[in-house]
Structure 1
Amino acid sequence: MLHRLLLAAFVTLVGGCAAPDGDYPSLLPRPIEQTSFAEPDRPVPEAAADPALEVKLAEQAEALASAGAAFDRAAAEAERLGRTARGAATGSEPWIAAQVALSGLDALRGATSEALTDIERIAIDRAAQGLSAYPELQRLLERAQAQNRAQIDRIDAIEAGVQPAG
């Protein structure tokens, strides 16, 4: 009896594995399922040499360097005055001298900010025209941003040191 039951179960299981008659679709992936929708790799076009742009960048680099040098000279003096005014009363001579030096620093930082704005304008105009990135322009822009940030930080540090007493 057990043999008949095992034989019946075996025949039933083997019969389920038999291929049915008819045309059924394959379970393999379809061609559309093999298509990649990932963004294709596109080579970054190299910018062609642009003599007119090189002249503009040289002018802006000179303006940036000049603004940085003037700021550094004035910042050294402002730091000295700030150390003298540390703890002085509001309105005292050392405090006023430090405040005047700080306002002069802010005006000098304006030259760096102006150069940064001009460099950003050049970059924006190139992008609006659909021109490829220009490495020298990018380096100058990064240098201008770093110089601007460093000047702001230096002014803030001097200002923090010139807090009135009590």
Structure 2
Amino acid sequence: MSLAACAGSSADYPSLAIRDSERSEGTFGSPEPKRLDIPPVEVDLTGGLDARLASLVADARNAHEAFEETRPRAEELVAAASGTRLGSDRWAAAQVALAELDSARSRAAVPLGDLDAIYTAARVGADDITAIESARDEVIALVRIEDAVLADLRGRVE
């Protein structure tokens, strides 16, 4: 009896033959690698690289001098505002002085952005970056000094 169950009509069951959708045709290969379209980094090198680097460093130094000229007044107003309540006249005066100092700091960051663009273009182009790194490091040092001063003064008024 158990064998009789296996001998039923084949029309009741699906065929185990390979279907058309299961057939593989053609060959499988790896797809073409996609090329990255990296646009060239455009930098302003008017007058040559050395002249541009010198100009950017000079701009950063001038901005740092403006920062240092603004700093004593900001320190004075922050000292006067220490311990006062939030929103007081002294606190507000200190906030305005800090904003002026922050503005002077941002003027040093602009040449740093240009130096970063030049640095990136040189690295991508596998050019010599020694002079660029030197100029960039100098400007980064100035900006770090300014960041530290701002962080210290902000910490005193909050």
From 141, 144, 149, give the equivalent of 2:144: 149
8 Å CA contact 2:63–2:104 kept in 1: the answer is: yes
Alignment RMSD: 1.3
State the alpha-carbon separation in 1 of the partners of residues 118 and 72 from structure 2.
32
Other-structure match for 2:38: none
Where in structure 2 are the equivalents of 1:113-152 lying within 5 Å? 113-133=109-129, 135-152=130-147
Alpha-carbon offset, residue 58 of structure 1: 1.2
From 66, 70, 77, give the equivalent of 2:66: 70
Unpaired stretches in structure 1, ≥5 consecutive residues: 1-50
Other-structure match for 1:112: 108
With normalisation by structure 2, the TM-score equals 0.67
Q: Percent identity of the aligned residues?
A: 26
With normalisation by structure 1, the TM-score equals 0.64
Larger radius of gyration: 1
State the alpha-carbon separation in 2 of the partners of residues 105 and 97 from structure 1.
12
**Secondary structure in 2 matching 1:131:** coil
Alpha-carbon offset, residue 110 of structure 1: 0.9
Alpha-carbon offset, residue 126 of structure 1: 1.3
Alpha-carbon offset, residue 76 of structure 1: 1.7
Other-structure match for 2:82: 86
Number of positions where the alignment pairs a residue of Structure 1 with one of Structure 2: 112
Q: Which amino acid aligns with 1:150?
A: I
Residue 161 (structure 1) aligned with residue 151 (structure 2)? no
Other-structure match for 2:32: none
Alpha-carbon offset, residue 160 of structure 1: 0.8
Instruction: List, as ranges, runs of 4+ consecutive aligned residues in structure 1 with deviation greater than 2 Å.
Output: none
